[in-house]
Structure 1
């Protein structure tokens, strides 16, 4: 069994590192919010990250060798887009896509 002190130290270091990676950008960019680069990143980076995540998700999670290739991942992805355009709520759209994807997988709604 692992030493309790070691585990507590590991958790503390991980917590501090996580906290610092979240706080440092706010401290640094607080005085530079009007800089063109910061404004550009704030405008385009979230969409670029979401596109990258969606691409990786579709490549890794979809079943491409079925009778309906990729439909098990494309349907939840389309649902996320529709719900987000409808409600403009990221949490709701992500949750709806996740629930749809898990339901398709668990209930075997799309045959492989």
Structure 2
């Protein structure tokens, strides 16, 4: 066998390290969750993150609105706001707004 091919002990050692790291990374969220179960900070994030994500999506959509793309951006934003006010469902309003934006951009850009 050529010198550049690692031996069986090296391969088994590498696999053992990968196994331990993978198991540790899979267990870490559960350990952190039990430690942060009654945290006021986690409760605050749970209340404010949906609105924060929506603001970031709006800013991302409107960042490069030019002469030819203002109509699809406006249609998507208006559709998102309307569906969210109507149903109070962030997932539904995001999907509808994205669909309206894609539909409008197919015809008006």
TM-score range, shorter chain: 0.5 to 0.7
- Tell me: CA distance 1:94–1:24, structure 2 relative to 1, closer, same or farther (3 Å): farther
Aligned partner of 1:78 in structure 2 is 78
Q: Which runs of 5+ in 2 are unaligned?
A: 1-21
Q: Which runs of 5+ in 1 are unaligned?
A: 1-16
When normalised by structure 1's length, the TM-score is 0.60
Total equivalences in the alignment: 87
Structure 1 residue 24: deviation in Å? 4.3
The structure with the largest alpha-carbon Rg is 2
For the residues of structure 2 that align with 1:42 and 1:25, how far apart are their CA atoms?
16
- Tell me if structure 1 keeps the 8 A contact 2:80–2:96: yes
**Is 1:97 aligned with 2:97?**
yes
3-state DSSP of counterpart to 1:33: coil
For the residues of structure 2 that align with 1:95 and 1:76, how far apart are their CA atoms?
10
Question: Which runs of 4 or more aligned residues in structure 1 lie more than 4 Å from their structure 2 counterparts after TM superposition?
Answer: none
When normalised by structure 2's length, the TM-score is 0.62
- Tell me: CA distance 1:26–1:93, structure 2 relative to 1, closer, same or farther (3 Å): farther
- Tell me: CA distance 1:29–1:104, structure 2 relative to 1, closer, same or farther (3 Å): same
